[in-house]
Amino acid sequence: MKYQCVVHVYAPLEKVSKLFLEYERYKDWQANFIGYTLLEGQLKETGAKGVLRYAAANQLQEMNEYLEEVALPHRIVNVYSMHGVTNRCENTFETTEEGVRWTMDVEFDFDIPPALDIQMFINQTTSTMESFKHFIENVAVDKLN
């Protein structure tokens, strides 16, 4: 399953790219985020492997993350995996007159295809992107420098 989502962030490219991989700030914009543990490689660099932890439905959910490519401020490719699902997210950040155009090309690979509509995935991705946008534009005002 493949799709693309686009969000316009009204903030400088430097701010968007600086905060995109600040795991300690994920709790400010990702619901139920508990923490991140680096398992291999250098933090925020190509090849890094780690685990993201979330509290969901009163239980701990762990998701593996692999940074396939980090070419910030313009591009980052994250690969997430858990329980028979792999999710590759190719993020590009382009400067515009108003701020940044953030495009996410998403690809899911399932061991067992889900009985879910693609629109549900698109809506969830867009919602997460909008949460990051709100965080950048309204919450993280102290993190530009």
CATH, residue 33: 3.30.530.20
- CA 39 – CA 75 distance, rounded (Å): 22
Domain around 93:
2-140
Q: Are 60 and 51 in contact (CB under 8 A)?
A: no
What's residue 141's pLDDT? 62
Residue 21 lies in a domain: yes
| pLDDT 10s digits, 39-75 | 999 999 999 999 999 998 889 999 999 999 999 999 9
What confidence tier does 145 reach under pLDDT thresholds 50, 70, 90?
A: very low
Residue 113 clears pLDDT 90, i.e. is over it: no
| pTM tops 0.85 | yes
Strand order in the sheet with 59-71: 2-9, 100-110, 85-95, 75-82, 59-71, 49-56, 33-40
Classify 103 as helix, strand or coil.
strand
Residue 57 lies in a domain: yes
